[in-house]
A = this chain, B = another copy of it.
Amino acid sequence: MIVAMKPEADALDIEAVIQRATQFGCRVHRSQGEERVILGILAEARQLPSTDAFEALPNVERVVRISTPYKLVSRQYQPWSSEVAVNGARFGAGGFPIIAGPCSVESEVQIFETARFLRDAGIPLLRGGAFKPRTSPYDFQGLGEEGLRLMRRAADENGLGVVTELLSEADLPAVAAYADLIQIGARNMQNFALLKAAGASRKPVLLKRGLSATIQEFLLAAEYIAAQGNLRIILCERGIRTFDTSLRNTFDLAGVALLRELTHLPVIVDPSHATGKRSLIAPVTRAAVALGADGAIVEMHPHPEQALSDGAQSLNFEEFSNLQRTLAPYIALREAERRQETSAMAAAVA
């Protein structure tokens, strides 16, 4: 059960809820959101008290029973879709914002060239890896903080936001200083220490699905972040690992549709890692738009054939422009439908 306090609730109001819960033998999980405190009431025994027990307490806004193991991120907790805004891009608000950039920041020339292109293409967010999670310790591990600095400068000169991966709690201060959106990669989806650290930061978080994570485990990983009071979370499906090695991963697009039923958080896709194949990026991203996904993160590079990592799945500038062109009418169509659905719902409510 979740008890959401009103913004004006003070320490005494909160204490009153905690005491009531304790009387019923429940544990309380406190999240300090930006505007309000959320208290998770967890039954140690099987029996939760009724919601009445809390609704009448002062400055309690809402009490919700939630049947899924994830609570704060579920649509039961919040039926309407959340919007997460990053540098002007609004995820979950009906459009299809794209995050783009190279797998790794490799050089000043590379990242500035990319940033200028993105600005001209109307793309608001620049991605790039400074700390790289590589399967082998002998592979290129990224430029580290120097990479962050380059990316920040390139982004600032072109009015872009920065998206980059956090690999270690120790790097959090540096990454949080340079990035507008902190990425937690697939291999760290159940690095619970990192999730808690990202949750405790005040930054929005892009959480990628683990290679073999079920939908429920994915949502529980998001719940780790949310339970720290940070609900500015964007989920990202990036392909799962299955028996079929025809492509780099198996792109679970139906999972995206399912996620949109189960959670109010925005859900975007990463067609580059999901397929690993340049020629498939356009068709599968069109599919994601038609399905109702909330955006995409796409690897691109001024010269993919020279990339230090992920060249085979990176688009060059021309291919990226073609991608935008092929997506445009699908995004427009989806938008028109969504507006219709919204006004139909509004009419139904009125």
Q: Could you list which residues of chain A lie within 8 angstroms of chain B, going by C-beta atoms? A: 29, 40, 42, 69-71, 133-138, 167-171, 187-188, 190-194, 211-212, 214-217, 220, 223-224, 227, 239-247, 250-255, 257-258, 260-261, 274-275, 277, 279-280, 283-284, 286-292, 326, 329-330, 333, 337
Choose from B169, B187, B255, B284 the contact partner of A244 (Cβ within 8 Å): B255
Decide yes or no: A283 and B291 within 8 Å by CB, A245-B245, A252-B250 being known contacts: yes
Collect the chain B residues with CB atoms within 8 Å of residue A171's CB. Answer: 193
Closest 3 pairs between A and B when the two form their complex, measured CB to CB = A168-B193, A212-B212, A290-B290
The answer to whether B242 touches A250, judged by C-beta atoms less than 8 angstroms apart, is yes
Most buried by B among A190, A223, A239, A244: A244
Taking the nearest CB of chain B, how far is it from the CB of A250, in angstroms?
6
Taking the nearest CB of chain B, how far is it from the CB of A89, in angstroms?
22
Choose from B29, B169, B286 the contact partner of A291 (Cβ within 8 Å): B286
The answer to whether A283 touches B257, judged by C-beta atoms less than 8 angstroms apart, is yes
Taking the nearest CB of chain B, how far is it from the CB of A290, in angstroms?
4
- Complex Cα spacing A193 to B75, Å: 34
The answer to whether B287 touches A137, judged by C-beta atoms less than 8 angstroms apart, is no
Decide yes or no: A253 and B134 within 8 Å by CB, A169-B169, A290-B289 being known contacts: no
Taking the nearest CB of chain B, how far is it from the CB of A199, in angstroms?
9
- Complex Cα spacing A266 to B137, Å: 21
Collect the chain B residues with CB atoms within 8 Å of residue A188's CB. Answer: 190-191
- Complex Cα spacing A260 to B261, Å: 30
Taking the nearest CB of chain B, how far is it from the CB of A337, in angstroms?
8
Collect the chain B residues with CB atoms within 8 Å of residue A133's CB. Answer: 190, 192
- Complex Cα spacing A279 to B291, Å: 12
- Complex Cα spacing A135 to B70, Å: 10
Nearest B residue to A332 via CB reads: B333
- Complex Cα spacing A250 to B290, Å: 18
Choose from B217, B239, B279 the contact partner of A261 (Cβ within 8 Å): B279
The answer to whether A250 touches B250, judged by C-beta atoms less than 8 angstroms apart, is yes
Taking the nearest CB of chain B, how far is it from the CB of A336, in angstroms?
8
- Complex Cα spacing A329 to B290, Å: 11
Taking the nearest CB of chain B, how far is it from the CB of A198, in angstroms?
13
Collect the chain B residues with CB atoms within 8 Å of residue A245's CB. Answer: 214, 245
Taking the nearest CB of chain B, how far is it from the CB of A313, in angstroms?
12
